Structure 1
């Protein structure tokens, strides 16, 4: 006999460290870290927007990376945990859980793609400085950003839609965050094949950017190493790419 599908639409959040003493201290530390990260990323984005000298591809991409980190702070467990602590509520709706999962996956994928593209931008800027303004023009830079957002959103949409449409059985208890593997564990249907596919796909998605980033910075290192003088190499690493 199969398990009975749970009719409730809410998930119960057990907390980051269930049963831990001095939770108020932990919440205070997490809140401080979140506020500091929020302030730092907001300041960086504002500086890039206001200073015309920073209107270059490398700073535009850096601003996008800060924006992703800023949104990620508002999506992940620490913020939700702090809100639950101060409000006294420890539940999240099925819709809220799916929304949190989608944005976390999208922003994580976007972050990964954007870091890969930024490493390529750095490679072109240092290894081909005279061609950099032509290769990484404003249109290409915009396409890089839109492509990273689209790629992250598509991947997140597919995985979230499949995970959240599955019927849930038994108690809907999750530790602190709506992640795919936790939600799949409460499904009435067999999900072992999808879990394996998810893990393998995740490894591949992480491996490809790692190889590209490692290759880009290796080429940058060897290019700087073979420059005529150390001073020239230091200038290449310290100087922003030309527009």
Structure 2
């Protein structure tokens, strides 16, 4: 790729180089990774098995959990083996693959969050049009679009990051191959690549973030116009989990990628831990804790494990969405 013909092996410096912290951090991050896999895979299986959760909201949530599992798995196992064995080398191909897959699933998650915001906007602001606007076909189109845009963006991110020449330094000051620490090792001019990555991150991050903000501005306007206090409370409960997830994810993502390259430093590792390790673990709890639909479905899921969600049954458009503004 680019001017690199020697394909050097990189060395990931990791989260810390203090020996006595390696074992505690390994135990902590191993526990977080196990909880992440159990929570997100469990939530996907529950959505798959429970007919009451065959709705657009949980359809998007299942794909959101899949993206969480994938991009967490791209970074966490390598970080854990580095902490356990101390061998922090990674091949050129491994570094490229890790960054490409990470960029793909993180970008897909941005677009899935925007699709989820659109679902809530239609459910609250236009309940009578919900069945048409968020039909099974529309849901599949939005998910396919999310992965398509993410795939194209990841190719561009990867080309910009690894398209130059690497002729000297090999130490990546991070716990995974990310754009900024890798570009610091290039011996060719990277200003054009940095500008292209910034533009891509801006278009994906601010584009989807703006769509989410616009959706919630309209939701807020509709909720404040409701006459019934219980209806307002129900509408806010519908959006609370999604808003919490958006805040955690976008807060750290914007801090990482929407700042000049000169301002990147050691704080990037702390921010990266939040959106690569902590956020995927928290999302299943955010969406299922105190969620009555999930609790009820969890108790009844074993009775329907043999049924695949076709997204065409009558539960796909729950009556609670269509009657949200009736009070």
TM-score, normalised relative to structure 1: 0.90
Counterpart CA distance in 2 for 1:184 and 1:16 is: 18
For 1:6 and 1:25, how far apart are their aligned partners in 2?
A: 39
CA displacement at 1:131 relative to structure 2 = 0.8
| Local SS of the residue matching 2:74 | coil
Instruction: Using the TM superposition, give the Cα deviation of residue 236 of structure 1 relative to its aligned residue in structure 2, in angstroms.
Output: 4.3
* 1:107 alignment partner, one of 94, 105, 108: 105
1:122 equivalenced with 2:120 (yes/no): yes
For 1:144 and 1:230, locate their aligned partners in 2 and report how far apart those are by CA, in whole Å. Answer: 33
Q: Where does residue 191 of structure 2 map in the other structure?
A: 192
Three-state SS of the structure 2 residue aligned to 1:228 is coil
| Residue aligning to 1:212 | 211
Shift of 1:6: 8.3
TM-score relative to the length of structure 2? 0.68
Contact 2:160 2:193 in 1 (8 A): no
SS of aligned partner of 2:155: helix
Kindly state the Cα deviation for residue 156 of structure 1 after the two structures are TM-superposed. Answer: 0.4
- The alignment partner of 1:12 has SS state of strand
CA deviation digits over 1:51-93, x for unaligned, max 9? 01111111100110011001111012x3211122334422111
Q: What's the counterpart of residue 265 of structure 2? A: none
1:148 aligns with 2:223: no
Q: Is the 8 A contact 1:110 1:148 kept in 2?
A: yes
Match of 1:190, SS state, is coil
Query: For residue 35 of structure 2, what is the aligned residue in structure 1?
Result: 36
Which residue of the partner structure matches residue 67 of structure 1? 66
Equivalent residue number for residue 242 of structure 1: 317
Is the contact made by 1:6 and 1:171 (CA closer than 8 Å) also made in structure 2? no
Please give the per-residue CA displacement for 1:10-43, whole angstroms capped at 9, x wherever unaligned.
1112221123532100111111111111111011
Aligned to 2:273: none
Q: In structure 2, the residue corresponding to 1:21 is in which secondary structure?
A: helix
Q: 1:149 to 1:8 in 2, by over 3 A?
A: closer
How many corresponding residue pairs?
239
Q: Deviations over 1:105-149 (max 9, x none)?
A: 111110111101110111001111111011110111001001001
* Structure 1 residues not aligned, in runs of 5+: none
Output the CA distance in 2 between the equivalents of 1:11 and 1:22.
23
Quote the Cα distance in structure 1 between the aligned partners of 2:39 and 2:150: 24
Q: Distance in 2 between matches of 1:128 and 1:6?
A: 56
1:238 Cα deviation from its structure 2 partner: 5.1
Mapped contact 1:129–1:242 kept (Cα < 8 A): no
Aligned partner (choices 82, 85, 100) of residue 83 of structure 2 = 85
Structure 2 distance, partners of 1:149, 1:159, is 15
Match of 1:139 in 2: 137
Distance 1:79 1:67, change over 3 A: same
Distance 1:188 1:6, change over 3 A: farther
CA RMSD across the alignment: 2.1
Provide the C-alpha distance between the structure 1 equivalents of 2:84 and 2:20, rounded to a whole number of angstroms. 16
**Cα pair 1:10 1:93 within 8 Å, conserved:** yes
